[in-house]
Amino acid sequence: MKRREFITLLGGTAVAWPLAARAQQAERMRRVGILLATAEDDAEGRDRVAVIQQGFEQLGWTIGGNLHIDYRWAAGDIQRLQTYAAELVALKSDVLVAAATNPLAALSRATSTIPIVFVQVVDPIGGGYVASLAHPGGNITGFSLYEYGVATKWLDLVKQIAPTVNRVGVIYELTSVQGPAMLREIEAGATAVGTQIFALAVRDQAEVERSIDTFGREPNGALIVLSSPLTTAHRELLVRLAAQYRLPSVYPFRYFTAIGGLASYGIDNHALYLGAMSYVDRILKGERPADLPVQQATKFELVINLKTAKALGLAVPHNLLVLADEVIE
């Protein structure tokens, strides 16, 4: 090889080396920690993980290639949430994902510097997690569920499907942040429709069974089930007890109605998770959570299980069937 050619080649290589090094640095594996309130074997929780992975892949990430995901499943245990939050912070995650309010509370206590994207959180301002929806202002942003006022729509749905009901039990997890606030909304609307509200605050499966057993012994009753890790974990039990005591029941998500619940009105959870992954993607690419406005759910779905209505001897009004996004027969 001639000297001039060698020098040219050497010079080209010298330029290529730092370029290659920069490319490798740009392609370094990023780490995302995800804290879920559900149990690892929960079907809905696994569905959410599938949506999360789908979202990342659609955004161009390769799981196991340039992206590593650490999952932690708390199974509704508050102490376990805090332990897992500390673990995910210690792993030096680039971004953390809080799947619901309790995981957000745990992660926000564990770090004030690592970006956190939340999903399924009600009232993030009231909870002290963000300064405002438009300008979160710190290390936290995400996708919230709905305003507390949606709870009055659940009461209205009960009365439309079962107009003779005059007793409504509202079952919620005792440690839930949003439970008491939603209960107040339901109580505020109950007088106008001549309905008495019973607060059924529960901590575990045994209390779920006792509360519904006591409430269900009296006639003309119905249930409104509020969202929480506990009610999600025991959704099959709740649906079964509602059928046993012949209680028309309204739920916050479709996955209750899909297993036999009477009706549900709520957001499309999976769409919310896809949105949250887009925020994680933007933060991994350099944007700050403080500059990403909190997004609120805008798409709600009404699902009615006609088979369950017939079993309860209820005739669902035609206008509701027309409005329903899905009718399960």
CATH number, domain with residue 179? 3.40.50.2300
pLDDT of residue 77: 86
* Residue % of the chain over a pLDDT of 90: 76
Inter-residue contact 170 to 142 (CB < 8 Å): no
Distance CA 329, CA 326 (A): 10
Residues 324 and 184 in one domain: yes
Q: What is the mean pLDDT of residues 127-147?
A: 93
Q: What is the largest CA-CA distance in the chain?
A: 100
* Res. 24: pLDDT tops 60: no
Inter-residue contact 262 to 161 (CB < 8 Å): yes
Distance CA 168, CA 155 (A): 8
Tell me the three state secondary structure of residue 232: helix
Candidate from 1-5, 58-62, 75-79, 211-215 with smallest mean pLDDT: 1-5
* Res. 8: pLDDT tops 70: no
Residues 273 and 242 in one domain: no
Q: Give domain status of residue 287, yes or no.
A: yes
Domains held by the chain: number: 2
pLDDT of residue 147: 79
Residues 69 and 49 in one domain: yes
Q: Give domain status of residue 262, yes or no.
A: yes
Q: How far from each other are the two terminal CA atoms of the chain, in whole angstroms?
A: 80
pLDDT of residue 27: 64
Q: Give domain status of residue 18, yes or no.
A: no
**Burial classification of residue 139, based on how many CB atoms lie within 10 Å of its CB (0-12 exposed, 13-18 middle, 19 or more buried):** buried
More confident residue, 231 or 178: 231
Q: Give domain status of residue 201, yes or no.
A: yes
Q: Give domain status of residue 63, yes or no.
A: yes
pLDDT of residue 10: 38
Residues 254 and 219 in one domain: yes
Residues 52 and 37 in one domain: yes
Q: How confident is the model at residue 78 (pLDDT cuts 50, 70, 90)?
A: confident
Residues 176 and 115 in one domain: no
pLDDT of residue 76: 82
Domain range for 39 is 28-145+268-298
Residues 249 and 272 in one domain: no
Q: Give domain status of residue 17, yes or no.
A: no
Q: Are strands 300-305 and 263-267 parallel, antiparallel or unpaired?
A: antiparallel
Q: What is the mean pLDDT of residues 277-291?
A: 97
* Res. 276: pLDDT tops 90: yes
Distance CA 294, CA 305 (A): 33
Inter-residue contact 116 to 266 (CB < 8 Å): no
The overall average pLDDT reported for the chain is: 90
Candidate from 17-26, 106-115, 138-147 with smallest mean pLDDT: 17-26
Distance CA 46, CA 56 (A): 16
Q: How confident is the model at residue 122 (pLDDT cuts 50, 70, 90)?
A: confident
Distance CA 85, CA 70 (A): 11
Residues 141 and 174 in one domain: no
* Res. 277: pLDDT tops 90: yes
pLDDT of residue 127: 87
Sheet holding 140-144: strands in order across? Answer: 67-73, 30-36, 95-99, 116-121, 140-144, 295-296
Residues 275 and 136 in one domain: yes
* Res. 226: pLDDT tops 80: yes
Q: What is the mean pLDDT of residues 42-69?
A: 95
Q: Give domain status of residue 22, yes or no.
A: no
Q: Within a 10 A sphere around the Cβ of 248, how many other Cβ atoms?
A: 24
Residues 273 and 256 in one domain: no
Looking at this protein, which amino acid is placed at residue 270? H
Q: At what angle do helices 235-244 and 205-216 cross, to 10 degrees?
A: 20
Inter-residue contact 93 to 35 (CB < 8 Å): no
**Alpha carbon 124 to chain centroid, angstroms:** 13
Q: Residue 197 belongs to what H/E stretch?
A: strand 196-202
Inter-residue contact 140 to 130 (CB < 8 Å): yes
Phi, psi of 108 (to 5 degrees): -70, -30
More confident residue, 118 or 270: 118
Residues 133 and 162 in one domain: no
Q: Give domain status of residue 4, yes or no.
A: no
Residues 32 and 126 in one domain: yes
Q: How confident is the model at residue 9 (pLDDT cuts 50, 70, 90)?
A: very low
* Res. 6: pLDDT tops 80: no
* Res. 26: pLDDT tops 80: no
